[in-house]
A and B are shown apart, each in its own frame.
Chain A
Amino acid sequence: MGVVGPRLQPTLDERSRPGRGGGKIPHAPAGALDRIPAAALRDTPPALPELNEPDVVRHYVNLSQLNFAVDTGFYPLGSCTMKFNPKLNEWAARLPGFAQLHPYAPDEVAQGTLQLLFELEQWLAEISGMRAVTLQPAAGAQGELTGILMIRAYHRARGDVERDEVLVPDSSHGTNPATASMAGFRTITIPSAADGGVDVAAFEAALGPRTAAVMITNPSTLGLFESRIGLLLDEVHAAGALAYMDGANLNAILGRFKPGEAGFDVMHFNVHKTFSTPHGGGGPGAGPVGVGERLLPYLPSPRVLREAEGSYRLERPGERPTSIGRLRSFVGNTGVLVRAYAYLRAHGGSGLREVSDDAVLAANYLKHRVAEAYDIPYDRPCKHEFVASATGLKKSTGVRTLDVAKRLIDKGFHPPTIYFPLIVDEGMLIEPTETESVETLDAFADALVEIAAEAESDSELVTTAPHTAPVRRLDEATAARQPNLRWRPMTGRQMPCPD
């Protein structure tokens, strides 16, 4: 059962033939560049490939068929919420009124998009229990940076300049400690307790007058709700620090838990996870950030404002001097946000709660099935995802989690996230999402159980997998030792115009 097309492709450069292509753009008049000083001009044209359109189309269609995607099959990549991407949303983002609107267009010609953004901010605030939301950050990681920079600004505005530490649990996403460093803080790693939650004693020992912020993912990257969150948040605030919630796992708790109500001061949303905007092979995303009262003055500029008469406008440069400033150009990844808006409208409040209910039910059901053949290190009700482990399998057969993952490819599934969180031995983080049917969940569980049996009977079949993918396992060591990052050295070869 192959899940991707069989054919590897030549590169664009290998397909190129001098003189091919053209016919799309009229030639510029002679002398178009006469007034540009020669020193500012290019000596030789860039050596870009020359292709005709049929070749371009075949190249990219064939390449696309080498990919596994949500639209081709089950993609239970834990922590990434690979849910279905509704097609209506793709259509909406391409409506000329949205797609062709210039970001410097004056407010009066951008009322449709400004209204959409304003409403989306209100809804995200409602979902998170936060006071206000900025849509500017271009991705979750940039949302984290936004949040931590606001926390820094908050402490500094109070003259509280000694706080230079951020506490991060050891199960966190790597972006959390990397963000803390980028914002000039030192990361203090907090170990997990045996139940998968934060180790409260270690947490209390680390918390103090130098703590600026605590970054917590809830549910955690183990798929577990942090039941002691109330206590932790009280202690954070008693210590004068603020609490950041990594919203990566929001898909589990829509309508069940609002971080702002519970006492978090700031959180980011990953709209590509919770609100179905496409993952795009890694991007683009958008990382809106919600804040409570304390951080309101520091939100990035520009904000979207509603005037008393009902029209919308962007904040002007310098209008709110307490702002931390800009994280990027213009107002945000509006094209992504249009899709998130459509998703929220389609679901409404009741639909969102159902999303989480079904996501959590599916994860628990799948965990129950996977437990037939794998270890479940934290065996209590999970939220939208759970960790399984191949530790036992490795002991008895030598087959590791990596091998199981690769063998899943042969069986028509995308592997789960593996070896994350780092604290689980031979871990697999499995997230089914709410858009996969019970038949799919069963088929996936059956495949995992089969692989465990294969590991016992014919371990080589598993350790040499995949067998049906376009390529087998790759030589990653050579790729890193002698990086080949482009198809040839710079040549600047001469290419006379063919016509």
Chain B
Amino acid sequence: MPYGPHTTADRERMLAALGISSVDELFDDIPVELRASGLDLPEPEPELQLSARLQALAGRNRTDLVSFLGAGVYRHWSPPAVDQLLVRGEWYTAYTPYQPEVSQGTLQSIYEYQSLLAELTGLPVVSASHYDGAAATAEAALMACRQTRRDRVLVSRAVHPHYRDTVRTYLGPRLELDELPLVADGERAGTTDLDALERLLADPDHPIAGVVLAQPNFLGLLEDMPRVAELAHAAGALFVAVVEPVSLAVLAPPGAYGADIAAGEGQPLGIPPQYGGPYLGILAATEPLVRQIPGRLVGMTTDLDGRRAFVMTLRAREQDIRRDKAASNICTNQALLALAASIYLAAIGPHGLRDVAALGAARARELEEALAAAGVPRLHPGPYLNEFAVRVPSARAVHRRLIERGILAGLVLADALPDQPGVDDGLLVCATEVTTGDDIDRFAAALADELRAEPGGRKAGHLATGTR
């Protein structure tokens, strides 16, 4: 066994102390008829070969593409300090800080995460326990149901499709989910239909527990969040805002526009995309919801000598104490990723974070102009931050061919939103601070080429691809 310490003599010493001759005797309590067949697995592989194998597997993934793909997971530059601090074994080989006297590092780091996210979201109570944006959003929906004692949640169709699916799964057995349609055309196309929201909130037979919208929404567009908060509250519902944390450096925080709960994906804060996780579910809420928020909370206190110290608190809400009456079964505290987010924020600072958000917006605008010049217009007219949808004839085929040219042209909307009208020709593209002018030029030029080749495509030949 590669990491085991025991020599033959060690094992013999332990067996002798126990008065047995073989370790098999310790498994006599497994009934004979239930003992396992053999393990049909590969042979053990020494680290030398294993490392080569892993490198080869990683090499089969293509991460060399010039990427305009976001859709909930964003490429950002992370200061090397973040990962160099994360690889300290004191962080990643510790567990949940059940013994606070020897866990002050983890405890203080979680307290600091709670504080940092409270500043970003404008909401005072933050839990670091959540798996990802989707699961955090689902927990937020359940919180709204518990708090209002109502059983129906409205989720905008401009919330990430995976989050909607996850909310549906979590609500599944006992609670109802209705989707809010999107405005089909005009200035507000692609944003949530607030008239429909108003109608659904007014239905006296179906009182609404919570309203869930994203800012920016899945299509990259900005929603009228203050208006949604007013409508939700007038109907006695809670308002759940799904947020992207880097954007909160420049966009109004949920606490300012009246959201009761913020949920979102913490990945943009120094966490690599790594094909789906592990990520960090952001979950923040107003003070009155402190007992409804699931997961670990860390509080400041003192020790017997009066020294300041940190400890997990409000523990009796949790599954290990409250068992079947707990608000959630969550046991994880996503400490290592909360730590990554905190180090990222500390290293990059408030002005750096603002620059990350604003640079992304600036690059996205350059991207919009270059794509328009290549004959690829936006799908919706409304304001966006750093992500937007464009209309490309035969989007799926063009997207595939661009991969051969080394370009990952965002997301094919028809694949991600198969039942959403009006996005058939859509590609969802984003830019961040790591997007370069060269990347944008390559993308625009390649698209223009493809459109020339595409039967029925736009005559893009007369359009300059833009020189900047």
Contact = CB atoms under 8 A, between A and B. Distances in A.
Chains A and B are bound partners = yes
Which of A39, A283, A346: most chain B CB closer than 10 A?
A283
Contacts of A330: 73, 132, 162, 275-277
Given A178-B328, A334-B274, A474 B298 contact: no
Contact of A97 (B60, B79, B95, B326): B60
Contact of A71 (B29, B89, B111, B346): B89
Given A329-B276, A335-B277, A349-B39, A409 B99 contact: yes
A199 interface: no
A111 B250 CA distance: 37
B237 interface: no
Contacts of A434: 1, 4, 6
Contacts of A483: 290, 297, 299, 313-314
Nearest to A123: B41
B414 to A, nearest CB: 11
A241 B101 CA distance: 45
Nearest to A179: B329
A332 to B, nearest CB: 6
Interface in A64-112: 64-72, 75, 77, 80, 82-86, 88, 90-106, 108-112
A383 to B, nearest CB: 8
Range for the number of chain A residues in contact with chain B = 35 or more
Contact of A281 (B23, B94, B326): B94
Contact of B44 (A65, A102, A348, A435): A348
B14 A100 contact: no
Contacts of B102: 3-4, 66-68, 409, 414, 466, 469-470
A316 B418 CA distance: 10
Interface stretch (B112-120, B199-207, B442-450, B452-460): B112-120
A39 to B, nearest CB: 7
A315 to B, nearest CB: 12
B411 interface: yes
Nearest to A489: B124
A350 B44 contact: yes
Interface stretch (A133-141, A389-397, A449-457): A133-141
A63 interface: yes
Contacts of B181: none
Contacts of B173: 149, 152, 183-184
B168 interface: yes
Interface string A44-59: 0111111101001101
B134 interface: yes
A402 to B, nearest CB: 10
A336 B106 contact: no
Contact of A28 (B10, B47, B62, B355): B355
A321 interface: no
Interface residues of B, number: 205
A267 interface: no
Contacts of B325: 181
Contacts of B426: none
- Give the 9 A-B residue pairs with the shortest CB-CB distance, closest first: A71-B89, A97-B58, A112-B60, A330-B276, A281-B335, A284-B278, A184-B173, A28-B358, A280-B336
B438 interface: no
B152 interface: no
A279 B81 CA distance: 21
Contacts of A152: 173
A351 B94 contact: no
A70 to B, nearest CB: 4
A296 B337 CA distance: 32
A461 interface: no
B5 interface: yes
Given A91-B51, A103-B275, A328-B135, A138 B101 contact: no
Contact of A100 (B11, B63, B339): B63
Contacts of A142: 131, 135, 329
Which of A32, A61, A279, A362: most chain B CB closer than 10 A?
A32
Nearest to A405: B99
Contact of B332 (A92, A112, A284, A361): A284
A230 interface: yes
Which of A95, A182, A255, A258: most chain B CB closer than 10 A?
A182
